[in-house]
Structure 1
Amino acid sequence: MSTLTFLGAVGEVTGSRYLLEVDGEPRAHRLLLECGMHQGGRDAEGANAVPFGRLADELEAVVLSHGHLDHAGLLPRLVREGYRGPIHCTADTAELLEIMLVDAAFVMAKDVEWENRWRARAGKPAIEPLYDEDDVALTLSLCVPHGYGRPAHLPGGVTLVFRDAGHILGSAIVELTIPSGVQRRRLVFSGDLGNPDSVLMKDPEKVYDADLVLMESTYGDRDHRPLAETLEEFARVLEEAHEDGGNVLIPAFAVGRTQEILYHLSVLYHEGRLRQQMVFLDSPMAIRVTELYARKRKALDPEDLKVLNVAAHGDPSQYLPILRLTRSVEESMAINRIHGGVIIIAGAGMCNGGRIVHHFRYNLERPGTRLVIVGFQAEGTLGREIVDGAERVRVFGEDLAVKARVHTLGGFSAHAGQRELIGWAGAFHDHPRFYLVHGEPGAQRALQAALGEAGIEAEIATYRQRLEL
């Protein structure tokens, strides 16, 4: 009997990982669906450091839904411990991984360097990063890219098909047809389902046939605010910041959210509604991803691109003339000499590191500053502290008062809201078994209840729960 075991993203929104064991002789074929990094606080660091053990040698294949680190960030760690099999993903995800994982290794190396300096002074032993750039290079060499809708054959007689999830470039719904005893079972994993209101991405595909569905539940407890209302509030916040003479800080996820924010800023600019002097994209990774999105225009929503082309007078390369790309540390530091009148988009999206934290040091205590939160903030992150109303936060050992005005704009989310999740689940025929993953407990309970009202029974997955297929 083939089985599925939940190894991550249960009761939380990061660390996605599921083990599939398929009937076989002399032993079962072992496949890993997702290999995500835990994010948010010291507990996450400890979880990421737990060795894969025998799994690294026994796995025959890895399947990825998309390139975000909470779904793919521990792949180089798996490879470091001995995995040498194929990593199946979409072609665009393979290109994104080259940016994401190289950056993750670089940031890790810097963090470990700083940590080891402190350890040396304290007489403590040095530590090593989870992985380095050599591990990333080997990981990338193992990637096997696929197009949407094209069946691929995996060990154990498993068939894989990717469907467009509409979340970020290359994101996929994963369909696996699996031998189990004398039958074949179809497992569908939603990955991260996109928000149909968000720009640039196409709408998530509906899937109709499955025996077992794993569905994300990040925003299972709410519907997103209509995009038109969100855009009006965004424009109003920018106008108020201009009138107050303060800077606007936008912690943005490098993949997807940054490109969406730049899109909306470009439209406001060409409508004459953006009064800031400059927009800084202060994230080397986000810059590289934005350039990748520009090269991958055929994968994006053509209707949204028409708007962009009109706004940019037919020249998409000039869609936001006041945009400044700051790649170097020196360029980033220079921004902090500007006390007002600019928009700063910087990573990390949950404020748990990256250049945005440096900008907090110079802007968070200024009442004229506007901090615009445009993405999900996981428990244990600095961003979550601020969203939850912290009056003071700790940044690089300094105690900072949060005097900036904080605005949370949920309508920009790249995740499906509760209504969209229920609609996607309701498309399946013949009542498959549903398990909710990738969500915090409150959101999962709310979605479970809402699905029940819609006549769809769903269970909430638990850590190391093992299902027979």
Structure 2
Amino acid sequence: MKLTFLGAAKIVTGSSYLLEVDTQKILIDCGMFQGSKTITAFNRRDFLYDPTAIDCVLLTHAHIDHSGLLPKLCKSGFKGPIYATRVTNELCGIMLPDSAHIQGFDAEIANRKGKRAGKKPVEPLYTIEDAYATLEHFSPVDYDQELTLSPNVVVRFRDAGHILGSAMLEIMVNEDGKTTKLVFSGDLGQPNQPIIKDPTFIDEADYVIVESTYGNRLHEEYDREEHLATIINDSVARGGNIIIPSFAVGRTQTMLYYLHNLLKAGKIPNIPVIIDSPLAISATDIFMRNTQDFDAEAKEMLKSTKDNPLQMPQLRFTRTADESKALNSLNEPVIIISASGMADAGRILHHLKHNLWRPESSILFVGYQAQGSLGRRLVEGASKVKIMGEEISVRATIYSLDGFSAHADQEQLLTWLTYYKRKPVNIFLVHGEVEASEPFAQLIKEKLDVSTYIPNFGDAALLNGLEWNIEQAEVTDPAIRQLHEHLELLDREYGEYRTHLEQLGSADNKKVGDIMRNLEKMQVYINKLKKGV
């Protein structure tokens, strides 16, 4: 069999893998690339396979970096089923049309500017009609039940504990009388999250494809509710707003859970909590229709106290654009939760524009910030940013609370891997930047004595029972080769740059010169990449 890595290779977006067994072609995820213009340009490239030849899609969960190119796939001729859990089906029913709306809006803005510059019109990646047509392909599956794709391929969806409905995949492949088992972790959740069940442990696999978003670090240990309360109380005392860029599905509901507890206990002032995201509002409704998938603690809250962890008297929803704009005229401190979680699009941009320059306000990032995103620049200390064409000074207090992340950290990932009773033949590390994947690969070798491989975009693993080797695709695709060089250099050079700054202490002309030369080198490579992709 052959496994080709088509995204989330040395980056955290664009998850997609093609598994070929005899004549059968199975696509695992079909995610959108998010982040810098260099990376998002890959959304417009042709697929590296014929969409009409794909037999089916296995979707791990609804987040757009795993599902967002499904409408493009269907628009390009895919006719087969898309298998996903029931909650993922429901969530995609709101997320894909919302993504299409964003595609159309972005294309409209680009064409307005492009027309003045004499540029050719830009077409959206797909339309709302394309998104709804894609939903006709969805076929719901239950957790832990065997799904037979063919006489040679059987799949089980297991709870990944990332967001409601998220799954890891067990794929059993029979070739030449031998059964080979692959496990795809999907996005592996952090244990002890509110509402969401803990990730399932699996005890046997020949090959594991595991995410490595936080493969180089541990989440901070602190009382999340107490820490959140301190930030909110300090901000309110200054007379500022608390702005939370948050993923509409998963993180928004987690934050509502914590805020519900804090308000009920009187640990924070009785101020409005506003969900300013139609998508997040719809996602919260779906969560409440699927309490059967809640963890035991959340179920007990509903059962014993009739106390809904996602509802509170202070909660307000803003559905229209006018209601959203009116929030920036309020004279009292408020907590605003809005999308997108990486602050790259959507209503959150307006709230950042109106609050970043205010020293009394606080901006709370509670999820991963990808390379090139506005959120990444803010958490790394940018003093000025450009939002909707306007330069904004950053005077608000910026917080990055990775303890709220829905992704497992290094120790939690390693713990999940230690449950395999028989060592896998190899572990493929995906969905992580190089600075996260490489240390994790080394740790796996030291602690588990298992070989690892960090694939590049387009690499293919040829799996023959317990033997495997890699076909590298970048040799025949200069643009992909340049992308690899860019990502590797950017990670290493920027890491060195930050280390030098930390060690600088006092002025040192030689070190300053070295740093400047490194930055110049980075820019040269980035410019080359932009021309090549």
TM-score, structure 2 normalization:
0.84
1:17 corresponding residue in structure 2: 16
1:237 corresponding residue in structure 2: 231
Note closer, same or farther for the CA distance 1:309–1:276 as it changes in structure 2 (3 Å cut): farther
1:69 aligns with 2:64: yes
1:345 aligns with 2:337: yes
2:366 corresponding residue in structure 1: 374
1:424 aligns with 2:419: no
Aligned letter for 1:12?
I
Partner Cα distance (1:259, 1:305) in 2: 15
Partner Cα distance (1:371, 1:278) in 2: 16
1:80 aligns with 2:78: no
Q: Which has the higher contact order (CA 8 A, sep 6+)?
A: 1
Aligned letter for 1:8?
G
Question: Do the aligned residues in 1 keep the contact of 2:301 with 2:307 (CA within 8 Å)?
Answer: no
Aligned letter for 2:44?
A
Question: Do the aligned residues in 2 keep the contact of 1:281 with 1:324 (CA within 8 Å)?
Answer: yes
1:436 corresponding residue in structure 2: 429
Q: Deviations over 1:315-368 (max 9, x none)?
A: 428831111000100100010001441001000000001111111111110000
Residue 462 (structure 1) shift: 2.2
Note closer, same or farther for the CA distance 1:318–1:415 as it changes in structure 2 (3 Å cut): closer
2:126 corresponding residue in structure 1: 131
- Superposition pairs of residues 229-268 of structure 1, within 5 angstroms: 229-268=223-262
Partner Cα distance (2:176, 2:400) in 1: 50
- Runs of 4+ aligned residues of structure 1 deviating over 6 Å after TM superposition are none
Note closer, same or farther for the CA distance 1:29–1:318 as it changes in structure 2 (3 Å cut): closer
Question: Do the aligned residues in 1 keep the contact of 2:260 with 2:309 (CA within 8 Å)?
Answer: no
Note closer, same or farther for the CA distance 1:318–1:4 as it changes in structure 2 (3 Å cut): closer
Q: Deviations over 1:250-282 (max 9, x none)?
A: 000001100000000000000001215211100
Residue 233 (structure 1) shift: 1.6
1:66 aligned counterpart, secondary structure: coil
RMSD: 1.5
Aligned letter for 1:454?
K
1:94 aligns with 2:93: no
Q: Deviations over 1:386-435 (max 9, x none)?
A: 00000000001001000000111111011111111001111112211211
Partner Cα distance (1:392, 1:249) in 2: 17
Residue 179 (structure 1) shift: 2.4
Residue 123 (structure 1) shift: 2.0
1:184 aligns with 2:182: no
Note closer, same or farther for the CA distance 1:456–1:199 as it changes in structure 2 (3 Å cut): farther
Partner Cα distance (1:58, 1:217) in 2: 30
Partner Cα distance (2:49, 2:181) in 1: 27
Note closer, same or farther for the CA distance 1:222–1:317 as it changes in structure 2 (3 Å cut): closer
2:481 corresponding residue in structure 1: none
1:334 corresponding residue in structure 2: 326
Aligned letter for 2:17?
Y
Q: Deviations over 1:84-133 (max 9, x none)?
A: 11111111111110011010001111111111111222222211111111
Q: Deviations over 1:37-86 (max 9, x none)?
A: 00002123310001226521111111111111111110000001110111
- Superposition pairs of residues 56-455 of structure 1, within 5 angstroms: 56-155=51-150, 157-226=152-221, 228-307=222-301, 314-316=306-308, 319-432=311-424, 433-455=426-448
Note closer, same or farther for the CA distance 1:309–1:338 as it changes in structure 2 (3 Å cut): farther
1:292 aligned counterpart, secondary structure: helix
Aligned letter for 2:427?
F
1:394 aligned counterpart, secondary structure: strand
1:336 aligned counterpart, secondary structure: helix
- Percent identity of equivalent pairs: 42
2:523 corresponding residue in structure 1: none
Question: Do the aligned residues in 2 keep the contact of 1:238 with 1:274 (CA within 8 Å)?
Answer: yes
Question: Do the aligned residues in 1 keep the contact of 2:263 with 2:270 (CA within 8 Å)?
Answer: no
Question: Do the aligned residues in 2 keep the contact of 1:15 with 1:38 (CA within 8 Å)?
Answer: yes
Partner Cα distance (2:303, 2:150) in 1: 45
Partner Cα distance (1:49, 1:105) in 2: 14
Partner Cα distance (2:290, 2:154) in 1: 27
Partner Cα distance (1:285, 1:236) in 2: 29
Residue 309 (structure 1) shift: 6.8
2:448 aligned counterpart, secondary structure: coil
Question: Do the aligned residues in 2 keep the contact of 1:246 with 1:339 (CA within 8 Å)?
Answer: no
1:465 corresponding residue in structure 2: 459
Aligned letter for 1:337?
S
2:120 aligned counterpart, secondary structure: coil
Structure 1: any 5+ residue segments left out of the alignment? none
Partner Cα distance (1:118, 1:14) in 2: 28
Query: Quick check: 250-259 or 299-308, which moved more?
Result: 299-308
Partner Cα distance (2:253, 2:310) in 1: 14
Question: Do the aligned residues in 1 keep the contact of 2:298 with 2:309 (CA within 8 Å)?
Answer: no
Aligned letter for 1:42?
K
Higher helix share: 2
Partner Cα distance (2:189, 2:449) in 1: 21
1:45 corresponding residue in structure 2: 40
1:34 corresponding residue in structure 2: 29
1:362 aligned counterpart, secondary structure: helix
TM-score, structure 1 normalization:
0.95
Partner Cα distance (1:424, 1:55) in 2: 35
Residue 156 (structure 1) shift: 6.2
Aligned length: 461
Question: Do the aligned residues in 1 keep the contact of 2:253 with 2:310 (CA within 8 Å)?
Answer: no
Aligned letter for 2:28?
L
Query: Quick check: 418-427 or 459-468, which moved more?
Result: 459-468
Structure 2: any 5+ residue segments left out of the alignment? 464-533
Partner Cα distance (2:185, 2:308) in 1: 32
